[in-house]
Chain A
Amino acid sequence: DTGVSQNPRHKITKRGQNVTFRCDPISEHNRLYWYRQTLGQGPEFLTYFQNEAQLEKSRLLSDRFSAERPKGSFSTLEIQRTEQGDSAMYLCASSAGPGFETQYFGPGTRLLVL
């Protein structure tokens, strides 16, 4: 059983550029989550999907952020017009759904915006 995988693991970009991250959940997990974590803080919820439906999006998430899960398997998170404040670790997690609540995290994508 392979765990949650994320690509790329590291991304350095210049302010104003767009970036896209990919997450592949544990196979047959129908729930997928995105979080953001900055140094010294716990992960902060961004959004989650059940299958291909995006069921919740944090009010903190600006409209520069968009996430998709087109076929209910992998997901992408895009950040448009990046800002220095977007520098963080972006974590993806998956779970098997109702009754199986534990979220299993991927290794994360570390974003640095210069």
Chain B
Amino acid sequence: GQNIDQPTEMTATEGAIVQINCTYQTSGFNGLFWYQQHAGEAPTFLSYNVLDGLEEKGRFSSFLSRSKGYSYLLLKELQMKDSASYLCAVRPTDSWGKLQFGAGTQVVVTP
């Protein structure tokens, strides 16, 4: 099975940078996803890492270290609209369908 841990909540100021960490324990790994979810809305895809290293996409970057079972999502130049829950999800090798999600990190951006 999977065990995925991420902080419950983080607060940051508009214009700042926030890093959301995600650690996972798995018997098999086949990719890690980050999703953003605003309250009452569907998760929206942010990034996908399957190899070690950094993936950059505009203000958002995601990093993966498979040997350490660790990923982070970096949000730069924070905007008020970035206030949301950020979900880390792992795709295990024993299932080509499902994603195993963490509980999410609620990011609060303050003026």
Give residues in A with beta carbon < 8 Å to B. 4, 31, 33, 40-45, 48, 50, 55-56, 58, 91, 98, 101-108
Sample of 24 A–B contacts (CB below 8 Å): A4-B42, A31-B97, A33-B98, A40-B104, A41-B103, A42-B101, A42-B104, A43-B87, A43-B101, A44-B101, A48-B97, A48-B98, A50-B97, A55-B96, A55-B97, A56-B95, A58-B98, A91-B42, A102-B33, A103-B33, A103-B45, A105-B35, A105-B42, A108-B42
Tell me if B42 and A45 are in contact (CB < 8 A). Answer: no
Known pairs A50-B97, A104-B45. 10 more at Cβ < 8 A? Answer: A41-B103, A42-B89, A42-B104, A43-B101, A45-B100, A58-B98, A91-B42, A103-B45, A103-B99, A105-B35
Cβ-neighbour of A42 out of B44, B87, B91 (below 8 A): B87
Tell me if B91 and A33 are in contact (CB < 8 A). Answer: no
Q: How large is the interface on B (under 10, 10 to 19, 20 to 34, 35 or more residues)?
A: 20 to 34
Cβ-neighbour of A101 out of B31, B41, B87 (below 8 A): B31
A33-B98, A48-B98, A56-B98 as given contacts; A102 in contact with B43, CB under 8 Å: no
Tell me if A102 and B44 are in contact (CB < 8 A). Answer: no
Tell me if B44 and A105 are in contact (CB < 8 A). Answer: yes
Give residues in B with beta carbon < 8 Å to A. 4, 31, 33, 35, 41-45, 48, 87, 89, 91, 95-104
